[in-house]
Amino acid sequence: MQSVKSTSILRRFLQKSRLVSQSRSFCGVSSNVLIDEPESTVLVEGKASSRTAILNRPHVLNAINYSIASRLMKLYKSWEDDPDIGFVVLKGNDRAFSAGGDIVSLYNLLKQGNFQDCKEFCWTMYSLVYVVGTYLKPHVALLNGVTMGGGAGISIPGTFRVATEKTVFATPETLIGYHPDAGASFYLSRLPGYLGEYLALTGDKISGAEMISCGLATHYSHSAKIRLIEEQLGTLITDDPSVIERSLENWGEIVHPDPASILHRIGTLDKCFSHDTVEEIIDALESKAAKQDAWCVATLRKLQETSPLSLKVSLRSIREGRHQTLDKCLRREYRMSVQALSGQITSDFCEGVRARLVDRDLAPKWNPPTLEKVTDDMVDQYFSPLTAFEPELELPTQQREAFT
């Protein structure tokens, strides 16, 4: 089975286990955002020594709203404090793990002038990502289906991620005038070479086999074995990550990326996406496209569909994330998200969601419309400290140590 080495997982988990468990603080805010009842959006199954949380909004591919994020925060705190619970499993109902944050609901809130609820959702969502990434017990995410955006955010920072042939991963935020968030600047920046920049800028999709190959997943199994994996996990009475890993390995398979995989073009990708600016990246792609390189031509088409401002903001975010801990990435991403949703710099988020998910005309009118019209001041504003009246994201770093 292809998986991360046991020693790597154990080292990371033991690092977490040294954390002080008393006086734990989970950042959260009260809100009545969106309409679902929390109990119905996250179902719970109790096992011998574990609990399984099931994302339950299958009609929207388990898109994460405030109800889901806040309920998971409460459940995870309760389970972490319970000595009878050894580990946690997270999965999605039906054909998706999670398509990410419920951006249509955010769009509707902004159209109603309800910016405050949007901020509260981001605050709770990013706090949840931090909890998953610093959880004191092993965390197993079963990524059997669509795993995008915020869905990746609440799974990839955890201990184990099981991908299947049905898994589809992407961070497609630049296509809606946004930026990869929910910890994406942390985990994308740590992928081999400049794969993270490529995925962040283009929003391209990769498979479960590609996820295991590049390190986004820790294990790979056929979807038909997921039920068996769950059954075996349910019999374990342990909080030992090595025991859980051996259980996952019992159902693992060795897989290789498809011949057309982006991972087979990593040399060309690195040469193009290693440049310092979006303009230089595009110049490098155009130079190779002129020599009839089909992959470069296709990549240029993908970039042409995105928001010019989002491209520049996202590239800088990944580059900064490469040198930051998870908590620092999340704090910066919260700052960026508040700026993006406020509409003070640009209305690209609302325009992107409208064009792709509301009116579906696929013809967004970006502002600025071209890279040449994106100023340094616009980009800098995304990364600038919020005003005195706008609190920065608070994370319990004294009680829950961030990892690097």
Q: What are phi and psi of 325, to 5 degrees?
A: -75, 170
**Cα–Cα distance for residue pair 303/308, rounded to 1 Å:** 9
Q: What is the pLDDT of residue 27?
A: 33
Q: What is the pLDDT of residue 402?
A: 60
Q: What is the pLDDT of residue 293?
A: 87
Q: Any residues with CB less than 8 A from the CB of 293 and at least 6 apart, and which?
A: 268
pTM reported for the whole predicted model: 0.89
149 is catalytic: no
173 is catalytic: yes
Cβ contact 148:322 at 8 Å: no
**Cα–Cα distance for residue pair 181/184, rounded to 1 Å:** 5
Among 14, 373, 30, 317, residue whose Cα is nearest residue 183:
317
181 is catalytic: yes
Q: What is the pLDDT of residue 37?
A: 62
Select which of 86, 92, 100, 101 is catalytic. 101
101 is catalytic: yes
Q: What is the pLDDT of residue 162?
A: 98
Segment-wise mean pLDDT, segments of 10 residues, the chain, 404 residues? 42 42 30 54 93 96 96 96 96 95 96 95 97 96 97 97 97 97 97 97 97 96 96 95 95 91 95 97 94 92 97 98 95 96 95 96 96 97 87 87 62
**Cα–Cα distance for residue pair 364/218, rounded to 1 Å:** 37
Q: What is the layout of strands, in order, in the sheet containing 206-207?
A: 96-98, 146-148, 168-170, 206-207
95-131: burial string, b at 16+ Cβ within 10 Å, e else: ebbbbbbbbbbbbebbeeeeeebbbbbbbbbbbbbbb
Distances (CA, A) of 236 to 50, 54, 211: 8, 19, 27
Select which of 86, 100, 145, 150 is catalytic. 150
**Cα–Cα distance for residue pair 284/268, rounded to 1 Å:** 10
Q: What is the pLDDT of residue 30?
A: 30
Select which of 102, 120, 181, 245 is catalytic. 181
Type of residue at 146: V
**Cα–Cα distance for residue pair 285/265, rounded to 1 Å:** 13
**Cα–Cα distance for residue pair 389/384, rounded to 1 Å:** 14
Cβ contact 307:172 at 8 Å: no
Select which of 173, 239, 245, 333 is catalytic. 173
